[in-house]
Structure 1
């Protein structure tokens, strides 16, 4: 298999906000093809520890091979690397409280997943309507598209895709059933929801996003991670989260604000960090990325809780 192309988003910003240092203990909640993990491992050095989560079995194997190559290159300067093939929502079952120097999460679908037609994440190439990050279990997008009633389908397209034409699209999908491939679904959507003037995205983009979020329970996974992330950090430990649409970013922003109010975290990004022009040109996926960071503080020595 040819090595997939993958460019980690906001890499330097992530490393700087994580404050990665030699000998630290770090978690990459979203290993993907290992772009962020490779850079973190180089900074941790031989005395560090890196724990990598991903529920995508294929991505895990590819990243494992990349990191093994780095281990050969660095020799004794490579940290201990552990791979956890579980969703990041289960992190509290694996990591003990107060043990991490840093935690990174880069949400959403990876470019590697988008580029593989058989995974069904994208309409750019025709493939089966799957969209599961963990292909070993769970409903596929095809099952959702063909089994949900029209009202439920419209609601999930509106809520998770923020698509104003959700009822029109849901009606068209129900009439076209069975719909089994990505290209077929994109054609059905385009026929009833043509491009909106001024919008640069394909008419099917928001519906595909909604289905992917539903299939993988992405927002539920993020909410569960946010509940435990702060408690896993040592005092002074950093959490960095990268979002790609407003639903994800809102969850992170609200959670950080509440933790700051309670004196558990100090917010390091009053406004989210975004890609500079050079990165946006080099990697179009980075244009929608928003990075938020916070640091764990001790309640006993906390400064007055900030209000944001």
Structure 2
């Protein structure tokens, strides 16, 4: 339930889908602070939500900095936060982003077009060891070393199509492969470009500090690395004790900051996947501020 006159925060506003749902809710007077690193996303959101006037506040920035971004707008606490960590469809479809391996685009992969690091920088300048670590750690790709070696041997690589075809040739045909062979490698490089996992860890801590008592935190993740971070964070924040397991007496004095609303992760239904195939890997976790 939304609170009448409540203030909410959409940490990854995108084109404003979640924010639209909040502002259209019968609870009157709600307002939403929408954050996004991508100015192109904010332009879409502002156009879509124009009819709500000053009930929607758009701010460019990293959600990891949501406390300071909210403070700059005169907001020191909120009644609910949604963090949808997935790519928007236009990120994959827009040639200026360089996220897609389904077409030939410049290797970019930045959410923030002014960001200092591009996918091309990583692919063409990082050492074989660094590339292998990124692909293994962030893509959970078992053949990361072979892929890193192939990338270094075939540099320079300037386009998504060139990288995708190299990955496909290196991995070879897979009889049980349901997704494109470059999926994990592209995920890994995108995470590295945008420092996504560190931002998530900082953003979760910031969200808890910003929430009013009983306020809900909703996090939607799309791969195991994200979901693991969310699960570990919420489990720790909800715990009565965080001492090492073999400590005979609790000495941590930890005070729980949240209560976990859904003990089991919420997954998409068959109907939801049918209407939106890209949601098939979505996992939602919800917590309430204590």
Alpha-carbon separation, structure 2, partners of 1:258 and 1:45? 32
Which residue of 133, 142, 146 maps to 2:120? 142
Match of 1:89 in 2: 64
Hey, what's the Cα distance between the residues in 1 that align with 2:86 and 2:277? 15
Is contact 1:132-1:216 (8 Å) kept? yes
- Which residue number in structure 2 is paired with residue 14 of structure 1? none
Number of aligned residues: 272
Structure 1 residue runs without a partner (length 5+)? 1-18, 72-77, 298-308
For residue 287 of structure 1, what is the aligned residue in structure 2? 280
Alignment RMSD: 1.5
Task: With the length of structure 2 as denominator, give the TM-score of the two structures.
Answer: 0.90
Deviates more, 1:151-160 or 1:79-88: 79-88
Structure 1 residue 94 displacement after superposition:
2.6
1:262-301 counterparts in 2 under 5 A?
262-297=255-290
> Per-residue deviation at 1:79?
6.4
Asked if the contact 1:55–1:134 (Cα under 8 Å) also holds between the matched residues in 2, the reply is yes
Query: Residues 42 and 167 (structure 1 numbering): CA distance in 2 closer, same or farther, change over 3 Å?
Result: same
Higher helix share: 1
The offset of 1:20, in angstroms, is 2.3
Over 3 Å counting, the alpha-carbon distance change for 1:138 and 1:108 in structure 2 is: farther
Inter-partner Cα distance in structure 2 for 1:139 and 1:291: 30
Equivalent residue in structure 2 for 1:184, among 155, 158, 162 = 162
Cα shift readout 1:125-177 (whole Å, capped 9, x = no counterpart): 21000000000121110110000000110110000000001111111111110
CA distance in 1, matches of 2:138, 2:125: 18
Structure 1 Cα separation of the partners of residues 25 and 162 of structure 2? 46
2:2–2:27 Cα contact (<8 Å) kept: no
TM-score normalised to structure 1 length: 0.85
Mapping 1:72-221, distance limit 5 Å: 80-95=55-70, 99-221=77-199
1:63 correspondence with 2:29:
no
